[in-house]
């Protein structure tokens, strides 16, 4: 299946509410032991960062994608 086929058969989905504690992803890291482990992240930090970004940069409501870094080098 390619992108065009997937989009042609796709149906719209309603938005669903998310809690700040709902996990959007799991970050896998080797840590200091060299043994892989997963760290479950939550939505709270992303929501705060997005709200700040929208308020500080005057991002129009029509914008659906914005590259907000998840980490800052040197911190």
Torsional sign, CA 64, 23, 43, 18: positive
Task: Record the pTM.
Answer: 0.43
- The encoded tokens of residue 1 equal 């299946």
- The encoded tokens of residue 25 equal 């992803």
Is pLDDT of 32 > 70?
Answer: yes
63 burial type by CB count under 10 A (0-12 exposed, 13-18 middle, 19+ buried): exposed
pLDDT at 59: 61
Average pLDDT score over residue span 3-32? 86
| DSSP secondary structure string for all residues of 33-57 | TTS-EEEE--SHHHHHHHHHHHHHH
CA–CA distance, 43 with 20 (Å, rounded to integer): 5
């Amino acid at each position: 299946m390619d992108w065009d086929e997937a989009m042609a058969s796709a149906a719209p989905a309603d938005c669903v509410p998310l809690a700040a504690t709902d996990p959007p992803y799991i970050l896998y890291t080797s840590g200091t032991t060299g043994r892989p482990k997963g760290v479950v992240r939550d939505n709270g930090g992303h929501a705060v960062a997005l709200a700040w970004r929208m308020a500080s940069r005057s991002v129009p409501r029509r914008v659906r994608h914005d590259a907000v870094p998840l980490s800052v080098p040197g911190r």
